[in-house]
Amino acid sequence: MGRLAYLFAGQGAQVVGMASDVKDLPKVKNLFERAESVCAGVVEKMLCGPQEDLNRTLWTQPAMFLADLAYAYAREEETGAPQAVCGFSVGEVPALCFAGSLSEEDALKAIVRRAQLMEEYTGRVQGCMIAVVGLEPGAVEALCDGKNTHPANYNSRKQTVVACAMSEREEFSARVKQAGGRAIPLKVSGMFHCPELAPEAEKFAEFLSALNFQKPRMDVYANLTALPYAEDFVGTLSEQMCSPVRFAATVENMRAAGIEEFIEVGPGKVLTNLVQRG
């Protein structure tokens, strides 16, 4: 096995029953018990649903945190520690926890606060996320107006996710079709990783400033910079909320650093499929 990286899945990958196949591992059982003391009911929502509830940001984010971290713990028993990790959006918090930058308790508190802020935001700003497939990133940027539509996730050469105001959903999808691409709505409850989230990102930074961040045991690549975290954990993690996820550039930089194999920790294979597409 070559140099290895774990990819921590993000919001949109959630499915009822995720992590049920690893829930009996001792380390995972301890994690789930700790989670219940911070976010009561989240384990039941993750394992039993219903899917409607699990799709709400308030539940999605802590549930994805638990599922990602549980799968990472299980994988590490098989492969040993990876040389690098990267989390997609909400997946960046379990990635930091896995790498030792945050304790499980602090990371759980952070993900619950992040979910609360973003749930409040979805009540303030009505929006959605639309995956644009078949167009280069520059072409997608040209379709966005920087007000109601913003490039939010740079996933691959032919897939960019756009944060879109609900009122503009049909018109933007029509523009995508006219340009020769496909517009696919994602199962998330708002428009994220865009400037509208700046007030919530500031509040999240205030919350994070009270937590104890440590140097990670392996490189943790940040969505904000597509580079390993340096020293500004609070600023990098909070600004991520209102900034695009630079996943394609992150994969390129990981490969340039010698990473040869990518394993997705979380439900599904969305991220490893993006890596394969390039």
Active site residue 193: yes
Domain harbouring 44, CATH code: 3.40.366.10
Walk along the chain (278 residues) and give the pLDDT tens digit of each residue: 579 999 999 988 999 999 999 999 999 999 999 999 999 999 999 999 999 999 888 999 999 999 999 999 999 999 999 999 999 999 999 999 999 999 999 999 999 999 999 999 999 999 999 999 999 999 999 999 999 999 999 999 999 999 999 999 999 999 999 999 999 998 788 999 999 999 999 999 999 999 999 999 999 999 999 999 998 999 999 999 999 999 999 999 999 999 999 999 999 899 999 998 87
Question: What are the tokens at 69?
Answer: 């971290």
Same domain for 207 and 248, yes or no, is: yes
Which pairing describes strands 219-221 and 84-87: parallel, antiparallel, or unpaired?
A: parallel
Domain harbouring 147, CATH code: 3.30.70.250
Closest by CA to 76, choosing from 44, 102, 100, is 100
Per-residue pLDDT at 86: 98
Same domain for 24 and 109, yes or no, is: yes
Same domain for 20 and 92, yes or no, is: yes
Please report, for residues 193, 225, 247, the alpha-carbon distance to residue 154 in angstroms, rounded to integers and kept in the order given.
11, 12, 6
Which of 164, 185, 206 is the last residue in one of the domains? 185
Helix (H, G, I), strand (E, B) or coil at 155: strand
- 214, amino acid identity: Q
Same domain for 200 and 176, yes or no, is: no
Same domain for 107 and 146, yes or no, is: no
Helix (H, G, I), strand (E, B) or coil at 152: strand
Per-residue pLDDT at 1: 58
User: Which entry of 89, 101, 156, 189 is annotated as an active-site residue?
Assistant: 89
Same domain for 218 and 272, yes or no, is: yes
pTM for the complete prediction?
A: 0.96
Same domain for 135 and 102, yes or no, is: no
Which of 140, 163, 185 is the last residue in one of the domains? 185
Same domain for 105 and 131, yes or no, is: no
Which of 185, 204, 235 is the last residue in one of the domains? 185
Strands ordered across the beta sheet of 127-133: 149-156, 159-165, 127-133, 182-185
- 260, amino acid identity: E
Cα 208 to Cα 60: distance, rounded to the nearest angstrom: 20
User: Which entry of 173, 189, 193, 238 is annotated as an active-site residue?
Assistant: 193
Same domain for 180 and 207, yes or no, is: no
Closest by CA to 221, choosing from 89, 72, 71, is 89
Per-residue pLDDT at 16: 97
**Residue range of the domain that includes 104:** 4-124+194-277
Same domain for 206 and 105, yes or no, is: yes
Same domain for 45 and 174, yes or no, is: no
Q: What are phi and psi of 135, to 5 degrees?
A: -120, 145
Same domain for 67 and 180, yes or no, is: no
Domain count, the chain: 2
